[in-house]
Chains A and B, each alone.
Chain A
Amino acid sequence: MTPPRNCQTTASRRDFLKLGLGALMGGGLVDALRARSVAAPAGARPASCILVWMDGGPSHYETFDPKPDAPAEVRGEFRAIETAIPGIRFSEHMERLAAIADKLAIVRSIRHDQGNHGAGNHYMITGAPPRIPVGCGAFVSFHPSMGSVAAHERSAPDGLPSYFSMPSMTRSGGPNFLGARYAPFVVSDDPNANGFRVRDVAPPGGLEIDRVDDRRGLRERLDNFKRFADKAAGDPALALDEYYHQGYELMASPQAQRAFDVSQEDPSVRDMYGRNSFGQRCLLARRLVEAGVPFVTLNEGGWDHHVGIFDGFKKRMPRFEGAIAALIQDLDRRGLLDSTLVVVLGEFGRTPKINKDAGRDHWSNAMSVLMAGAGTPGGQVVGATDAYGFAASERVLSPENFVSTIYHKLGIDPAKILHTPSGRPTFIVSDPTPIRELMG
């Protein structure tokens, strides 16, 4: 009764173009076909992911999918600008990203049917739609987030947590059944502040290291609280044990302490990212990835532009996209871009018609997602929306495809099955097909 969600069985015009191009440029049809098959990413260093979450749902029109030929009430106030790649155009305020469009892949055709924040976040951040309907303000978790799965499947060296979220967790960014051990390490302090340090990761001043060790031993001997080992019991005391374990590892790790210290960075590099909270968080994210952390989420709210979208973008976007451009360029310069995936998105796009408050409302029929690095071929646009940006119309893709792409690049098999504490097998993503154009 239910029709296929999208038409993956039929090749589109673009597929043929892509295939033809691959055949011309590479080793012919065999290579082109191989590009379509699922293969583990090559390279010695497994990829990390920096996910920039634009909470609220950024407009596709005002970012990467401008529609300059649409009527004014759809087109909006901004014009489209040329990018480094002829034929690909971004919205007017995406200047610095436009200049490095050769490094970026933009997906314009991911769509889903979860038009509120709670559900949209859940779908994009976990790859699973919420199990039961949830409301707009919801912070829900029915499935582990990508960051938590990454933490479960990949570890970070030197006592570093393997999943960071700054300055807070996204709504559905938690571990769900994987358990608290795979929750994000949240750095809420502002790395742009003077004297920034990640707090509480070193013993209080004046306490000798021997005494720190003695206390640790004493604590273990005095702690006789019963633990319920059966995972099905969901004993929160086990999670706390895990946190103490992680906390000690972190305290004992000079590499971790160094990664946290953005002040060690050259001032000119700090300037390049922008001397603002988001800019410096991007820089901190790079340092963490450099130190081997597999997954970092930057949770940046304020993109729910029901009101005054143009003023909002004018004020915010130049600094915001400048920091992302700086991050990608800096990774590239350091040779880290090949092993670092940068992803920028929100829960959905925004309505075509500008509303009475000069805003746009929630719209999950179309959205734009930026990806760069980790072998993602740059300078391309995947899929398209229709002429006025109402809906994804070519190469229509699902959140499952999106999430599978990220897992794949992280070296995690998207078809993998994990088990809940009560023993239920659960696919990490229900459709493990990555977006082949992004797989390189």
Chain B
Amino acid sequence: MILGLVAILAGTAGAAEPSPTVTFERDVQPILTRAGCNAGACHGKASGQNGFRLSLQGFDPTFDHIAIAREEGGRRVHRPAPEQSLLLQKGAATVPHGGGQRLDPDGPFYETIRRWIADGLPRTPADAPKLARVSVEPTERALKPDEAFELRVTAHFSDGSSEDVTELSTYGSSESTTVAVDEEGRVRAGKLAGEATISARYEGLFANCDVFIPLEGDVDEAEYAAFPRANFIDDLAVAKWKKLGLTPSAVAGDATFLRRAHLDVIGRLPTPEEARAFLDDTSPDKRARLVDRLLERPEYADHWATKWMDLLRPNPYRVGIKAVFNLDGWIRQAFRDNLPYDEFVRRIVTAQGSTFEQGPATIFRDHRDPIEIAPVVGQLFLGIRLDCAKCHHHPFESWSQEQFYEFSAFFTRVGRKGTGLSPPISGSEEVVFTAKSGSLKHPQTEAELAAKPLFGEAPIPDDPDADPREALARWMTAPENRYFAEVMANRVWGDLMGVGIVDPVDDIRATNPPSNAPLLEALAADFRDHGYDVKHLLRAIMASSVYALESEPNERNVADARNFSRHYRQRLRAETLLDAVSDVTGVPDSFDASPPGSRAVSTWTNRIPSLFLDTFGRPDANQDPPCERTTDTAVVQALHLMNAPGVNQKLTSDEGRVAALAKGDATPRAIVEELFLATYSRLPSDEEREVAEALFQVPDKPRRAAVEDVVWALLNSPEFVFKD
């Protein structure tokens, strides 16, 4: 038995002298974690289990040591006869244990704990080397179906020593049906091609191994070489395709690119005139010039601002109409000015002044408590989700409750003057300012916590007038903070491409790996190196050949849903689709609390009623918790486009395109052409012309009814509803 113990403690070749004694933090705690004793479902939950409570995943060794060594009158450990210790008897299930047998009484873990008890429960000295990082070998591996291999996990300590902790680590697969991993770190490929990331966790730190099961059959290198590479995005995408044996779809034609680019940059369809001009243009750089033109269009700001409204805009019934309207206007102006993204975030995080004058101040009227605003800032601008750590150590991340409160402490000196919230009107003005003092206590230890960033340093000047939020903003937007650029680059990528490189787009963590890490890093670096210019980011993505790929799959990429070897079709967003219906029919919608002629994209709150927008999944502020935007299709959407009185009114209006075309003297051929250009941004095929023009020859069918029917048919089609 002692041999087993020595094997564990001996560590890897060349490691430092093995610890002479078994100590708690270094040797025992990892076993408790590995055996699941301190898991959230067992003794690690806030109330413990059957009176025995450990800190979740062992984040608080002092607490755990007391729980084991001193509680229950010391019954849990019995030094004179360690085998009689409840800790070992329960763990080995030699007495009844609700959690079953977690320790093999003949195994090395049992022996380590036994010896630790016999030695008098020593703690690891405070000056002992600290765990610095964890690594895994290999970090990447290609497998054939059903092939298997074993991972090896190494813990590295602050004194340069290391230790093999393969047996003490826990493992998880991001796609367990594609690639499975067992409790011992043995990785096995499934039967089908695909990829997965295997995470090894040791003492709260993670290391990942990317596993690929390439498609069967070889791809000729020439095929990748022939792919037109416009920029770094193409290089990095191709590198990933090679690993999986994916081949890209063809580059899309002009009409598809035109419609896609319009919808992505300005959220509206090209007019028939614009479409015709682009399709007729023969210059080789017309796509790049189109993107440049679109980025300068006024609609750009509204379209991109709407995406941020989903994230930032509060419910006016809670916060007040004027304050929300003011914030809405500020966000739109920021996009009109193409405010550099770091400046945009800095102004939000450090907002001051009246909610009637300074838009971002409204965010601090909405989120009033430091522990409420902190996770919002973490998720939106860093892609770090901290909510779990509010109540306890984050169960699948490395953030502790203490870190959560230290991070929240940056917001303790947000002062407020004026009248606070008074729903459902809440119409008063409030002024946000830097208060002279403010503090935050750890909910358990009650210790007053100083503001501290999640990693690195964010020194707060020793000046009573300095707002800690300034230091926070500097830390967030500093070039060393990789999360800051990555989450925004990923967000924009996800908007254009249909899925983020990390998905969900604002959830960056070891256990939610990116599909192409080098691509995300390069995209973020490019964004940062160009002054966080959002338009530059858009231009870079849209200049790539990857962006311009067709959605039609080939036999080697049909199952690709995350590596961008083909374009993923997306349903148009609610606002974009309604505006498109209005543009095609030439009949604007009308919105409450908005000027006449307003477009859906300019509605300043989701409380403005619209059955159309609700049907197509705009966020619902009435739900608790508020519902996120949905991008799925649903049968109610089909029914709405077919039958809704609102849509029908646009078709039959005397003011719109249908009436004008019917009244005018255009030939059926010209009418059909215009309608195809307006809805699909392309000309009709000969067959389509024939079908549509035949309608105008039906006896007793009024010309206007023929136009109505063609428009109805075009609107009720996937070619209209989707971005291809």
Contacts and interface: CB of A to CB of B under 8 A. Distances in A.
Interface string A354-386: 000000000001000000000000000000000
B713 A218 contact: yes
A133 B511 contact: yes
Contact of B559 (A139, A211, A232, A352): A232
Contact of B639 (A200, A218, A424): A200
Interface in A238-252: 239-241, 243-244, 246-247, 250-251
Contacts of B194: 422
A27 interface: no
Nearest to A181: B635
Contacts of A219: 712-713, 716-717
| Dominant secondary structure of chain B at its interface with chain A | loop
Interface of B: 40-41, 45, 47, 93, 99-102, 172, 174-177, 183, 190, 192, 194, 385, 387-388, 395-396, 507, 511-512, 551-553, 558-559, 561, 569-571, 611, 614-615, 620, 623-625, 627-628, 632-640, 642-645, 648, 685, 687-688, 691-692, 695, 705, 709-710, 712-714, 716-719, 721-722, 724
7 contacts: A4-B100, A116-B388, A215-B713, A234-B561, A247-B639, A422-B192, A424-B192
A161 B634 CA distance: 12
A365 B41 CA distance: 8
B710 A424 contact: no
B713 A204 contact: no
A228 B387 contact: no
Nearest to A237: B718
Contacts of A209: none
A415 interface: no
A71 interface: no
A226 B717 CA distance: 11
Contacts of B628: 139
A223 B721 CA distance: 12
A320 interface: no
A390 interface: yes
Contacts of A204: 643-645, 648
Nearest to A391: B49
Given A132-B512, A161-B635, A236 B722 contact: yes
B101 A233 contact: no
A236 B571 contact: yes
A222 B192 contact: no
B515 to A, nearest CB: 14
A226 B635 contact: no
A205 B645 contact: yes
Interface in A1-39: 1-4
Contacts of A116: 388
Contacts of B102: 1, 3
A113 to B, nearest CB: 3
Given A133-B511, A201-B643, A232-B558, A243 B633 contact: yes
Contact of A230 (B45, B558, B644): B558
A283 to B, nearest CB: 21
Contacts, number: 175
Interface in A267-321: 301-302
B395 A133 contact: yes
Interface in A385-440: 390, 422-424, 426
B41 A236 contact: no
Contacts of A221: 691
A238 to B, nearest CB: 9
Contact of B695 (A180, A218, A237): A218
Contacts of B632: 174, 180, 183
A207 B648 CA distance: 10
Contacts of A1: 102, 183
A211 to B, nearest CB: 7
A417 to B, nearest CB: 12
Contacts of B642: 200, 203, 244, 247, 251
A3 B614 CA distance: 47
A230 B387 contact: no
Which of A135, A136, A161, A214 is the most central at the interface, judged by chain B CB atoms within 10 Å of its CB? A135
A265 interface: no
Contacts of A237: 569, 718, 722
A181 to B, nearest CB: 9
Contact of A200 (B551, B571, B644): B644
A202 interface: yes
A93 to B, nearest CB: 21
B559 A233 contact: yes
A382 B222 CA distance: 66
Nearest to B193: A422
A137 B642 CA distance: 34
Contacts of A3: 93, 99-102
Given A224-B688, A422-B192, A424-B177, A240 B633 contact: yes
Given A236-B722, A237-B722, A244-B716, A185 B636 contact: yes
Given A133-B395, A223-B717, A224-B688, A236 B385 contact: no
Contacts of A174: 632
Given A199-B611, A224-B685, A237-B569, A211 B633 contact: no
A176 to B, nearest CB: 12
Contacts of B718: 223, 225, 236-237, 240-241
A211 B396 CA distance: 58
A205 B93 CA distance: 73
A199 B615 CA distance: 11
Contact of A225 (B190, B625, B634, B719): B719
A225 to B, nearest CB: 4
B502 to A, nearest CB: 12
A235 interface: yes
A180 B571 CA distance: 13
Give the 8 A-B residue pairs with the shortest CB-CB distance, closest first.
A3-B100, A113-B41, A204-B648, A237-B718, A200-B639, A225-B719, A243-B638, A232-B559
Contacts of A201: 639, 643
A168 interface: yes
Contact of A132 (B174, B648, B713): B174
A218 B688 CA distance: 10
A251 B395 CA distance: 49
Contacts of A244: 638, 642, 716
A226 B256 CA distance: 12
Given A3-B99, A113-B40, A188-B614, A133 B396 contact: yes
B303 to A, nearest CB: 21
A131 interface: yes
A200 B643 contact: yes
Contact of B177 (A203, A235, A426): A426
B388 A136 contact: yes
A120 B146 CA distance: 33
B68 to A, nearest CB: 21
A186 interface: yes
B685 A235 contact: no
Nearest to B639: A200
Given A135-B385, A200-B643, A204-B645, A247 B635 contact: yes
Nearest to A234: B561
A243 B192 CA distance: 31
B688 A222 contact: yes
Contacts of A352: 47
A398 to B, nearest CB: 12
A127 interface: no
A422 B559 contact: yes
Interface in A112-170: 113, 115-117, 131-133, 135-137, 139, 161, 168
Looking at A215, A222, A246, the one whose CB has the most chain B CB atoms below 10 A away is A222
Contact of B635 (A185, A199, A218): A185
A240 B507 CA distance: 29
Given A214-B709, A352-B47, 11 more contacts: A133-B395, A161-B635, A218-B692, A225-B717, A232-B558, A237-B718, A244-B642, A246-B638, A247-B642, A301-B623, A423-B192
B387 A135 contact: yes
A244 B640 CA distance: 10
